[in-house]
Amino acid sequence: MPSTIIPFGPQHPTFLEPLNLRLRIEEERVVGADINIGYNHRGMEYALAQDFRRSFFLSERVCGICSFHHGVCYAQAMEDVYKIEVPLRAKLVRTIFMECQRLTSHLLAVGHIAETMGYEALFMKLFKEREQVMQLVNRVTGNRVHYSLNTVGGLRKDITYEQAKDVEDTITALEPQLLDIQKIVHTDRTFRKRLHGVGVLSKAMAETYCVVGPTARGSGLPHDIRLTGFAAYGVEGMKFEPCYYEEGDCHARTKVRIDECVQSADLIFQALELLRDGPFVNAVKTLPPSGEGWSRVEAPRGELFYHIRAQGAVSLDRVKIKTPAFVNIPAVAAMMGGAMVHDVAVIVVSVDPCICCTDR
């Protein structure tokens, strides 16, 4: 039977950003897919290689959903250039707000899945709980999206005791809601029937495509950069184990994300328990920077990598970024084989694609 080629996107109701798929279909079944990106190119790496002080704020604008992780990764790379140690208090505060941002990102991703499959009630509940975290970080940092807390050697400003108590109270109130949503995602009949066995990416194919984050962990790869101990994840008293499933389908990837939401709440409590008075920044005494540095963090979508080269000038010589969506999106083509046309949107959304940072 001859196949028919149809375009899917870049403008589509289920896509938050422009992504184009060229689907090869036979009747209602997808037999192949080609991915076309490049609708959102911004030249961010060139912009980041200008004034290294301005780049602290620019790095957070590479991606809005994981902006604080970009800020931390850039700061850690600059700290590697300067070869300076970050105070424990700064590491703990960074960890707290990385987990807050993981909550906002994963709740958005699971909510997007619920909306795509037509589960509007769950979509509204997820965004209601996400709003609690958005309002929390706005109260503490002054912004809902770009927190702008990082600088070389630690934090631009410390958080107060009252703000730390606000974090604890908000997450304490949120945790039971997360457990309720987790139960729905794991056991709801409609959720399982719509996602189970759809968009399967086997463990072998996940290794071939080098996918990262929840996409990898949903295919049985327990790869998580938090295990390397960056920020406060390696501090004594911080306990962490990656969440992963073997099925490799849309349901597994969604379960990983909601499990990590519950885990993020626990990690925030652990970090708050270890938070003590002390310095929040180790000030840099040598300007401008000279040397090379790199950093990896576990952003909500997976491993984020920064490499910086400085040659004794205010403007950096080179900033290279590797974002998780850049390596996850090509694997969508491998998930499409044998899927039905009505599953295409769900499969794409299950990867939580970010065109903003892919086309940086």
Write out pLDDT tens, residues 227-264.
999 999 999 889 999 999 999 999 999 999 999 999 99
Q: Report yes or no: 261 and 100 within 8 Å, Cβ to Cβ.
A: no
- Looking at residue 126, its amino acid is L
pTM above 0.75, yes or no: yes
Answer yes or no: is 6 within a domain: yes
pLDDT tens-digit series, residues 8-27: 878 777 777 788 889 898 88
How far is C-alpha 312 from the geometric centre of its chain's CA atoms?
A: 32
Structure confidence at residue 1 (pLDDT): 59
Same-domain check for residues 282 and 335: no
- Looking at residue 322, its amino acid is K
Q: Which alpha helices (H) appear in 19-118, and where do they start and end?
A: 44-48, 55-59, 67-82, 88-116
Residue 23 sits in a domain whose CATH number is: 3.30.390
Which domain covers residue 9, as residue numbers? 1-39+323-360
> By three-state DSSP, how is residue 303 classified?
strand
Answer yes or no: is 152 within a domain: no
CA distance 152 to 342: 48
CB contact set of 276 (below 8 Å; sequence gap of 6+): 88, 89
The structural domain count of the chain equals 2
Mean pLDDT of 168-190: 95
Q: What is the CA radius of gyration of the chain?
A: 20
HSE, CB side, 13 Å, CA atoms: give it for residue 215.
Answer: 35
Mean pLDDT of 333-343: 89
**How would you class 300 by CB atoms within 10 Å of its CB: exposed for 0-12, middle for 13-18, buried for 19 or more?**
buried
Average pLDDT over all residues of the chain? 91
pLDDT tens-digit series, residues 48-58: 888 888 888 88
Same-domain check for residues 99 and 237: yes
For residue 105, give the nearest of 305, 358, 352, 321 by alpha carbon: 352
Same-domain check for residues 165 and 33: no
